[in-house]
């Protein structure tokens, strides 16, 4: 006899999240300008990657992959470092 660990009648947080992700738009290669600007502003606010992904999903019905967001954050850090070093005498 097995133990039922998933009940299809119980709508959990994870199930709600997965249903949103399934119905969301995904930009696999190039992000539109508005999405890039939105993520840049959320990164500057200091939100975590999870907070950024969830906020964009909830507000815009767009799923941002963690891998893509990690690359974007790394590029933002590299850009800010080069800007700081160029400004230093």
**pLDDT tens for each residue of the chain, 89 residues long:** 556 566 778 788 888 888 899 999 999 888 999 999 999 999 999 999 999 999 999 999 999 999 999 988 888 777 766 665 555 55
Place of tokens 């738009």: 25
Report d(CA 31, CA 50) in Å as an integer. 18
Report d(CA 57, CA 21) in Å as an integer. 8
Residues 35, 27 contacting (CB under 8 angstroms): yes
Considering the entire predicted model, what is its pTM? 0.73
DSSP character at residue 62: E
């Amino acid at each position: 006899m097995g133990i039922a660990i998933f009940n299809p009648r119980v709508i959990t947080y994870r199930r709600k999240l997965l249903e949103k992700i399934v119905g969301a738009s995904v930009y696999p290669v190039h992000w539109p300008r508005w999405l890039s600007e939105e993520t840049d502003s959320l990164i500057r606010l200091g939100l975590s990657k999870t907070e950024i992904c969830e906020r964009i999903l909830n507000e815009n019905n767009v799923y941002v992959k963690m891998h893509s967001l990690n690359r974007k954050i790394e590029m933002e850090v590299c850009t800010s470092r080069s800007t700081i070093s160029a400004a230093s005498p």
